[in-house]
Amino acid sequence: MLDTGSTGFMLVCTMLVLLMTPGLAFFYGGLSRRKNVVNTMVMIFAVIGIVGVAWVVCGWSFAYGGDGSLPFFGGLDQIGCLSAVNDMVAEAQAVPTAFAVLADQGALAVDPALGAAYPALLDVVFQMAFAMITCAIVTGAVAGRMKFGAVCAFVAVWVIVVYAPLAHMVWGGEGSLIGEMIGALDFAGGDVVHISSGLTGLILCLMLGRRKGFAVMSYRPHNVPFVALGAALLWFGWFGFNAGSEFAADGVAALALLNTAAASAAGVLSWMVVERVRVGKCTLVGAATGLVAGLVAITPAAGFVEPWAAVVMGLIVSPVVYLAISQAKRRLGYDDALDAFGCHCVGGVVGGVLTGLFCVPGLSWTDHGGLLYTGDWTLLGAQVLGILVTIAFVAVADMVLALIVRACFKGSLRVSAEQEASGLDVAVHGESAYPAYLGLD
């Protein structure tokens, strides 16, 4: 029988996670330059379309299909989610009431126990929303200079050949490389979502080269209220992102919810203190970035740590991310336009490592707890190894895929110098975010 409480809980969490991707469009749109607002936001809406279709066609199958015998790949048995449809048809023919059909459904659940708790098709949508926000984060690194068609082509393949296999390696259950063999913990996506997307953004921006005027002129957010609105939507959606990753309305989901609030609050405060010390002022963009940094750090640990540890994680991550964005980027010379790498990859690494330190033994998915509680380095070592495997897999796959896409676009992923100078909104999309008012608009 379905657990109606968990079903309702997962419905709400799924809708919250779906909200995060358009929320990111506002966040990135506000951070971008005025002449590239539409391009920055439409890339994210294109991700919604591309990933939504790709996930139903084969992404879900590649990530969570099969019998768990392969450490890198789910399988082909759930292509097009046909198994779910066939099972629902069979149930409808055998049982006369719609309620009974839903009560017995659960064909696609990763864990058979979950199939009895809520409809497994709901999990397909929940995981689709994760894939959407992951791909959308990547676009921030290349804002203002990558061909729109190349972005679409890259995302369409990346979600299938990089994201889905990585999700299987971490969350694929028995036989999965990172989650089972290595024994690394990732509650809601430190490896799968944040490290993968941030690192992919870094690789793409390195292949594209710097924006014109980088390190010479100042790139300031053109619309600070947009940034705050986007951060608020991300914050709201993140509660479904982390709490929903428990897949049940229980105490661990409540713990993940509290930890998410605590870490994000600590991240805001920590960032504001760092800004006050470094530049003498606290900014709204800085506070919003600290909020996101705290959310990123707690993601891999949300259901594994106590609330006091969540606060500590939020306090630690903001200074690290601040230095990555303000110092490392300038000194190393990479042009991560909207700091996808600095915030998500660096923050994800911090969160993953600290999970190995603060994980409560009784909450761990493995036989090992955090170093702080057990004095055992096993889990911390597994966390580091899992992160290294994620980085290696994503980096190699990204470089190969980017080279293929570049070859398909006449040897260049980058827009022309004229388009970059005039702005991509009008040049590529034929519309402006702020057209002049002449009485005809």
Query: For residue 100, what pLDDT is reported?
Result: 31
Residue 438 lies in a domain: no
Residue at 432 is within a domain? no
pLDDT at 436: 67
H helices present in 215-306, as ranges:
224-243, 251-279, 284-298
Reported as a single tens digit per residue, the pLDDT across 15-47 is: 999 999 999 999 999 999 999 999 999 999 999
Q: Which amino acid is at 320?
A: V
- Contacts of residue 353, defined as CB under 8 A and 6 or more positions apart, other chains included, come to 380, 383, 384, 387
Residue 111 counted as domain residue: yes
* Of residues 398, 407, 390, the one with CA closest to residue 158: 398
Q: What is the pLDDT of residue 115?
A: 46
The CA dihedral of 320, 321, 325, 330, to the nearest 10 degrees, is 30
Point out the least confidently predicted range of 94-103, 132-141, 281-290, 339-348.
94-103
Range in 9-18, 84-93, 215-224, 273-282 the model is least confident about: 84-93
Mean residue pLDDT of the chain comes to 89
Token pair recorded at residue 12: 């709400």
Residue 436 in any domain: the answer is: no
Neighbours of 400 (CB within 10 A): 12
Residue 75's region, left for phi above 0, alpha for psi from -120 to 50, else beta, is left
pLDDT in tens, 305-341: 999 999 999 999 999 999 999 998 888 889 999 999 9
132 pLDDT band (50/70/90 cuts)?
very high
Residue that the structure tokens 């260049």 belong to = 412
Whether 279 is in a domain gets the answer yes
Q: Is residue 361, in this structure, part of any structural domain at all?
A: yes
Mean pLDDT, residues 276-304 taken together: 97
Check pLDDT > 50 for residue 101: no
Which of 247, 244, 61, 81 has its CA nearest to residue 167?
61
Angle between helices 224-243 and 251-279 (to 10 degrees): 150
Instruction: CATH number of the domain at 320, please.
Output: 1.10.3430.10
Q: Which amino acid is at 257?
A: L
Rounded Cα distance between 282 and 216, Å, is 24
pTM score, whole prediction: 0.92
Where are the strands (E) in 34-111, listed by range? none
Sign of the alpha-carbon torsion through 27, 28, 33, 35: negative
Structurally, the chain folds into a number of domains equal to 1
Using an 8 Å Cβ cutoff, are 134 and 348 in contact? Answer: no
* Domain with 409 in it: 4-424
The answer to whether position 430 is within a domain reads no
Looking at the domain assignment, is residue 390 inside a domain?
A: yes
